[in-house]
Each structure stands twice: as structure tokens, then as C-alpha cells.
Structure 1
Amino acid sequence: MQTNFAPERLAADRLVREANDILRTCVHCGFCTATCPTYVLLGDELDSPRGRIYLLKDMLENDKPASDTVVKHIDRCLTCLSCISTCPSGVDYMHLVDHGRAHIERTYRRPLQDRLLRRLLATVVPYTGRFRWAMLGGWLARPLAGLAPGRFRALARMARKRPALRSEIDGARVISAEGPVRMRVAVMRNCVQPALNPEIDSATLRLLRRHGCEIVIAEGQGCCGAVVHHMGQEEPAKAFARANVRAWTAAGVDRVVVNVSGCGTTVKDYGHMLADDPDIADDARAISAKAVDVTELLAELGLKDPVKEPGLTVAYHAACSLQHGQQVKTHPKALLEAAGFHVKTPMEPHLCCGSAGTYSITQPDLSHQLRARKTENLHALKADVIATGNIGCMTHLEPGLDVPIVHTVQLLDWATGGPKPPTL
């Protein structure tokens, strides 16, 4: 793609140069349209990666304020990154849309309801304590959820269950390994998982200890920053990233283990996010290099022989942030098979389920259409249980399913000596 950024802007700003380089990589082939969920649903070129790239090029190249059209179509992007897996030219769409969202945040004034919703999400979701109390209030007031205005209704309906008010992963500490220590690892504490499903973290801790990991729950670690980052709020996202880099660097760990794939994609990008911060750039690159999904670490360590053979048929739902964002595609299924499960893959495994962080709240109509499509494909497998690696997918898909959905680590923990997942 030909670009015409002003030379003085290219000389003065690394991010402008990066956007220019990314845009020039695109050859307009359109392969991305076939795997883009919003294009598959809507058939609108501007709701495809190629169409969004044209919109971003015009806005960024001319350094002009975001228009209503740009905001509409960029907001509809799930950031599922399926286009990155598909693109033969290697277009770095993820960082390009990051630039676009930051530019929108700086130059566009949203309607009042949008501003209030985004402020609420940014103020509550990244903080486990606040999220717990918000979910508890929503659960107590659930008969009134239908009265909430507009997209606040989707947020209210998240509180279908009473949230857990404490979790095994709360509080900084060191947890010893079972037997000889093979590795010292930090386990990332996600913002919402301790409230929505604390058993996932408990299963993760048991599984890692059983495989010789000394576990650090690091002092000072917080939200990965993805929630505000995807809303274009650069500085808050960087503040979260800096805090985590400092916490994990001080902990002196061999790996940073993430069991929420949406967070993993962000943590692995810290080296890029903080590249212009001279005080922490080197540590950020080091932490990004140490960050792994829990299934990557288990594949590296080698899964212990199962102590029981569950023999269940598992439908594996590949979270977009894991298969596209992190390009982790084979480890979860291979581990489940090694643990004695019969694993099936649904039709259209590349298409997003519609969760996508806060997307199910900010774009509920499109999100629900994608959920219906995904659950239909999962039900067609007639599996005993569905497994995935992301709490967002689990929470979003569960209302549309007639079989249990669990995190991959819960099944691996059960097979190698842990308790049976409660939902089974």
C-alpha cells in the first residue's frame, strides 16, 4: 500500500513510522475478509480488516480527527486477530489498530452514554475488589437487569451468579512445589477470574506444583492493562504494564505463567508497549520473553501420566487471543489428548465467539450473533464437555450451552490427580 506521511512526522515520531511501515506491508489481497467475524456477519468492506486499514490510513496519514464512520467501524473490530493468522504478507494489524484507537481516544468525543460506559469499565473491571462488589450488587439486583439502559443492560446481565468473594490466588506469597523444584514461576492474577471462577486458579496452582513449579504470586502485580489498552487509553495501559514488569522482575522468576489468554497476548506485548520508556524497556522485553500460556509451560515440562482415564469427549474452543494473538494452537489439544480425553474441533474454529474482552458489553448485538453461531457449532460435536483457555469465552458462551464449559487446566488437573471440576 502506498503511503504519503509528511517527512517531518516520520522523522519525529516512532509510532508514526511504525504505522507507515505496517500500512506499506498490506497488498490489498483481501484474504483477511474471509476470516473476519464482522465481515462474515455484515458483508461490509469497512467491517473487514482491509476496509479498516483504509480508514486508518486516511486518518493517521492526514493526522485528522476521527470521524463517526471511522469510530463506528473500528469499534466493531473484535481484535480477534484472525486476520493476522490469515494474512500472507504479515501485516501487523494488531499494532495498527492500537494506533488507531489511541488516535480516536485523543481526537473524538463520544456520546454521553458511551463515555459513561467506558469510564465505568475502566474504573471497575481492572480492579478485582471493585469488580467483585460490582458483580455482587448486580447479582442481588438481577431481577432489575432488564430495566438497565442500552448497553448497560449487557453489563448487568454478566452477574448471573453470586461472585466469589475470596480466591486462593488473592494476596502475595510464595507457594512451594511438590517434590524437587524444576522452575520458579510467577502466576498472573487476572482481574475478573478470581470473582467469576476461582477454581480455575486453584486448578492452575495444583497443576503447576505437581509439575515441580515453585509459584510466586507477586507483590504489586495487577491488571495486565488490556481493558484500557483496547479502549485507546495508552497511559493507563502503560501504567499497569510498568507495575507488572517491576513486580515480576523483582520476583526473580523463570517464567510468567498466564491462564487467561486475553491477558497473555497483552503481557507478551509489553516489550513493544514500553519500548520508548528508557527506565523499564529492557525489563519489559525480558518479561515479555518469559511470558507463557499455562499450556505452553506444561508442554515444556511434560505432562505427568494421568492417574485416571476420564474418557470424556471434549470439544475444544480455541480462544482467539490464544490461537491468533499468541499463535498457540497445538499445545492445549495435545495435552488434553495426552491426559486421556477424546478431543474434537468445531466447525469455523477460527471465528471469534463474540466475547473479546468488553466487546460483549460495548457491541452486544454483534456479540450475541457470534455466540449463537459458535454454540451451534459446538453443540454439533455432541461432546461431554467444552474446554477453553479464557475466562471471557467461558462466561460469554455459558448461557448458550447445554453442556458444561471448563478451563483446559481444570481437565488436566483432574486427570493428573486433582479434583473433578465442579461443573462436571
Structure 2
Amino acid sequence: MLGRFWRALPWDGLGWGRSPDPVLSDLRAWAAASWRQAQARPWRPLLGPGARAGWPLAALGPVLAFARARGLDGAATARLYGDCLLTGGGPVDVYVWRSLWGGLHPLPGRGAGLLLSRLGDSTGHALLADKLEAAERLAMADIPVPVMRGVYRRGAACDVSLLADAAPGQDLFLKPRHGQGGRDAFALTRLDGVWHMGGRPVSSAELMARLARLVLRDDLLVQERLVAAQEVADLAVNGRAPVLRLATARLPGQAPFLHSALLTLAVPGRNPRHFLEGAVHAPVDPAEGRLVAGLTLAAPRTRLDRLTWNGALLAGRSVPGFAQAAAMVLRAMAALPPLPLVHWDLIPTEAGPVLLEGNSCGNWILACLPGLHGLEACPLPPLLARWLPDDRRL
């Protein structure tokens, strides 16, 4: 229990300094105060000072571990530690931000989550956090979503019959109903009577053991796995299709609009959940639906006109079904209770784009990546500020 509280520092998302963006600085202060106000009354006065006092020690271990892994020298490690102290961000976030934009990260991890989750309609956030309910709502709005094979309910016994109904060679995709960032999600295929989990052959006993562990924590959704359209098949890795991430935004009382777009590709031999090395990100010009040069967050200054492992073209390449996907996410945004910003993940398939899920509290670095090329509709901080309650409007 104590370890969990320690790892959650800084509890209110603030560091020792102010955000370099004055609008985000005020927004973060408001979100931190709102979070503290929601806690038990006896603890409220202690939470801010406690977070500031505990943060230097809590940040030190992760910074040193990250510095060793990246081979940083003493000066770079000291600067990284200082950035973490001032921003309240973890070493990965603040390191990538400085590498891309220079200076301090204006809205790292926990601060972003506390802020974004408090702007807009709370029922909209809750709906997107529930992948099953969100898929049902979007399907009612005639938006293509993955075919659902069934659900393993939390705490219930698992059996293989739900999976065995899949056609031989039919890929399935299993994910927690309330999961985030692909955690505990995996692909499953049955070939010649043998289960392959994430491309690796496993016994039925091993598969059932994993299912049993996962359903202890959450419902587990069983869907048909989506296959990339032939036009982007050379961008897929081990059957993992490229993901089109479209950010939609809106002002209070106004229609949603497309803010920016990003195509994310898996990297061979890397864990796709590894923030630095697991993906190539290529922004999309929303006016033409064409990619610009991509990058990995492990080497953010190196621009990739082509993929290094197979020479597949990135820069200038058209994204199939982009206009259809953009229209689709605007309908999806309009079908939700009002929210300021949602990132939608879609797969470009042969039948057209299919919407996987939406996230109302996405990573700020990925939200800002298209802005490196001037490919965003508007600056986000002033837009977010418009969603503050009337009595707290900046």
C-alpha cells in the first residue's frame, strides 16, 4: 500500500516549478487544487506540502535507472533530475520533451491525467474508459467497430469454447474492458490445432492460466483482430496493423473538429508498449491525408522518410480511407457527452477504417507531435482553458 502511494508521487501532479506555458500552468494549478479538494478533509492541507517534500526522493531512483539505461553522463543526468523536480514529470516524459522541443515539459503524465479528466462531461470520460460500452454506443451511431466474439466476465470461470468458435487461422484480439495503453492485450490464433498467443505457440493450459489471471481484475473482451489494408500492408509488423490516431477537439457548445492526425507503426523486435523504442510515429497532413517523415521517440531528431527495416515509404504516402476516417471520428465525437479533446485509434482495413477506441486523457507528447510540422488545427492550451467551470475561467 505504501509503495503504491510512493509511486503515485507527485500526488497532485505538480513539481517545484511552474509550467513554461502560462495557460497550462494555471490549468495545472486548478486541476491540482480540484484533486486535493476531492480527498478526505483531514488530509487536504498536507497533500500539497507532502507531495513537494516527497517528490525529490521519489524522483531520484527512476531518474538514475533511466540515465543508466540511456547511458547519460553526469551533466545530462543532473539536468534530467532537475527537469523532473520542476515539472513533476517522470524521466521518460521530460527527456523526450526536451529532446523534441527543448526546455521543460509543460504537461507531463500525472498532471495531464488530472487535468484532462476534469475538463468536459464526466460521463463522457467514463464512457470512453469502458471499451465495451463505448463500442456499443459507437456502433449505434453507424460507426464501424471490431466484431465482438464475446466477453469473459470478471471473476467468472474461463473455458476455451468462446475461443474455439473462431475459424481456423482467424486471428482474435483480447483486451481488458477498462485497459489503457495496450496493457494485458494480446493477439490469439489457432493454427493446426495449436494456439499462438502474440505469435508464440502455447498450450491450452498456459492460455487458460493467462485468461484466469486477467479476469481476476476486469472483464476481458474477445474481438476479431483487424488486418491492415493492402495499401499499408508493408507498414504492418508481424500482423500488427498500423494505427491511425486522429485527435478531435471542440469548444463548449460548438461542433467538433479534427485537430491533428498521426500514424503509429510497430517496430520489429520491440515491445510495442515501449514508449521510446516500440513505435515509429508519422504525422499526417490532414488537408491531403499524406504522411510526413516519421520518428521514434528514442531518436527524436532523426527523421525517417522510409522505414529502416524494409525501406517502405513514409513521407508523401497517402493514408487509405483518411477522409472517411476523419468524418467517422467527428461523428463519434458528436455522439459523446461533450469533451474538449479525444484521441481516436483506427485501423485502415480493406473494408475501410475501423474505430478501435477513444481516449480522452491521451499522452501530451503524442498530442503535440503533429505540431512539430505545423499540422494541428489550433493550439490546445487556450482551447482547454475554455472548458473550465465558469467561476474558474482563466
* TM-score bin (small chain): under 0.3
Larger relative contact order, structure 1 or 2 (CA cutoff 8 Å, min sep 6): 2
- Larger relative helix fraction: 1
Larger proportion of strand: 2
